[in-house]
Amino acid sequence: MAGLWQCQGVTRPDAPPGPVRQGSLREWNLAVVLGRIAAADRPPSRAELAAATGLTRATVSAVVEDLLAGRLVREAEPTPRTGAGRPSRGLVLAADGPAGLGLEVNVDYLAACVVDLAGRVRHHTVHRADLRPVSPAEAVARLAGLAARARADAEREGLTLAGAALAVPGLVDDAGLVRLAPNLGWRDVPVPALLDGHPPLTAHVDGVPPLVVENEANLAALGELHAGPPGPVSFLHISGEVGIGAGIVLDGALFRGARGWSGEIGHIPVHPDGRPCRCGGRGCLETYAGQEAILAAAGLAGAHLPADTATTRLAELAAADDPAVSRALADAGNALGVAVAGVVNLLDLDTVVLGGGYAPLAPWLRPPVLAEVSRRVLTAAWSPVTVRPAALGGAAAAVGGAGSVVRRILARPAGWLARQP
């Protein structure tokens, strides 16, 4: 079954469903009813679905039967009805139907997670290892092993992996080729081709690509977007790791840029003649506020701590008012604030989310970032900018990737149903 890992052309991880085709009324009805069930704050009955969608009760009943048979919804426990009549049976998203696989390769860890149709994380594994000395093929092989364990776990719980999204800390083109991941030392790495040599993990589902490869900061921003209440929110999500990437969400949608390469905030110069950067430039934000720069400034560069330990250690020392660590975080926050102020001035964003390794350091990074933003953003005096830690922290990219798969199924359930026996 070669080819299941194949990356599909210009497919985007969070692309909206296409226009309704002539003759696709059933498809449309399936999506409308499933969407109502997914958005409801309590399990709606068939009668309530008919009232909410304007469909006849007979149509809703037929659609619900299809959704039940395809393991997309299930009936909730009956709730007693006040007064006469049968108790109503509400409908909820199935916990044993299709699921999304989210994968991540980063500088010092690999991650795999499974998210079910309701957005619940059902499996999450992180494997810590410095991947810089490791070849891309070896890193991808280790990732495939992690993914196989995630699939086995998912199948034990009755879930079927319907597609995968892989987050990488670099620039990815439409074919899934990692053009450049400077902190991993990757250049022109064909990730889908490398995965094709491993056993397939996902089912064929119409409209769901087997694998999307995407920049990790973009997927992390999607994870954060869907962890919050729905709405046309706009924010900047910054993933602070060894490198620094940002995902830009405008009016509730990810802004990817003309070629999908937006968000390289780590390479915004904050001191134009400053320190040399791995990208070949000078004075990039990453060289002042990336994790290695913070550790060096704090006098911990030689400690060779794994990333999560390093972040925890920095937070512990900062909480104990260690002067070197406090100074290092204040300086990193100042540099970050300068770059963030530029982005906010340009895009008129009202919220900045500190994600990845920045989330646990937010109590110390937030004040200097806010100070720079207040000083440099023209509108800050009467329209303050919120700076807050991410809800999902370091898991955001893998969770966001897996979530992008299930949202495709919610948007077009007919594609999943067509593949059911």
Q: How far is CA 219 from CA 128, 222, 396, in A?
A: 20, 5, 7
d(CA 248, CA 217): 9
* Shortest CB 215 distance to Zn ion, Å: 16
Binding residues among 287-346 for Zn ion as defined by CB under 5 A: none
Binding of Zn ion by 417 (CB under 5 A):
no
**What size, in residues, is the chain?**
421
**Residue in this structure with the two tokens 């891309």, named with its chain if needed:** 136
* Shortest CB 244 distance to Zn ion, Å: 10
Among 46, 163, 180, 60, smallest CA distance to 411 is for: 163
* Shortest CB 283 distance to Zn ion, Å: 8
Binding mask 262-291 vs Zn ion (x if CB under 5 A, - otherwise)? Answer: -----x---------x-x-x--x-------
Binding mask 27-66 vs Zn ion (x if CB under 5 A, - otherwise)? Answer: ----------------------------------------
Which residue number, 274 or 299, has a Cβ lying nearer to Zn ion?
274
Tell me the number of residues near Zn ion by CB under 5 A: 5
Dihedral sign from CA coordinates of 361, 366, 368, 373 = positive
**Which residues fall within 8 angstroms of residue 56, CB to CB, at 6 or more apart?**
50
* Shortest CB 277 distance to Zn ion, Å: 3
Which residue number, 274 or 281, has a Cβ lying nearer to Zn ion?
281
**383 DSSP assignment:** S
Structure tokens at 368: 């200097």
Which residue number, 81 or 275, has a Cβ lying nearer to Zn ion?
275
Which residue number, 97 or 243, has a Cβ lying nearer to Zn ion?
243
* Shortest CB 106 distance to Zn ion, Å: 17
* Shortest CB 250 distance to Zn ion, Å: 24
Which string of DSSP letters, residue by residue, matches 250-315?
A: ETTEEE--TTS----GGGSBSSTTSSB-TTS-BSBTHHHHSHHHHHHHTT-GGG---HHHHHHHHH
* Shortest CB 349 distance to Zn ion, Å: 22
d(CA 246, CA 265): 6
Q: Is 360 exposed, middle or buried (0-12, 13-18, 19+ CB in 10 A)?
A: buried
Structure tokens at 180: 């450049």
* Shortest CB 290 distance to Zn ion, Å: 10
Q: Which stretch binds Zn ion (CB under 5 A): 185-193, 232-240, 260-268, 371-379?
A: 260-268
**Which residues fall within 8 angstroms of residue 388, CB to CB, at 6 or more apart?**
351, 352, 353, 354, 362, 366
Which residue number, 187 or 304, has a Cβ lying nearer to Zn ion?
187
d(CA 379, CA 172): 34
d(CA 349, CA 344): 5
Which residue number, 145 or 281, has a Cβ lying nearer to Zn ion?
281
Which residue number, 197 or 276, has a Cβ lying nearer to Zn ion?
276
Which residue number, 119 or 281, has a Cβ lying nearer to Zn ion?
281
- Is residue 219 within 8 Å of residue 102, measured between CB atoms? yes
Which residue number, 66 or 264, has a Cβ lying nearer to Zn ion?
264
- Is residue 222 within 8 Å of residue 403, measured between CB atoms? yes
Which residue number, 268 or 352, has a Cβ lying nearer to Zn ion?
268
* Shortest CB 278 distance to Zn ion, Å: 6
* Shortest CB 136 distance to Zn ion, Å: 21
Given the rule CB under 5 A, which residues bind Zn ion?
267, 277, 279, 281, 284
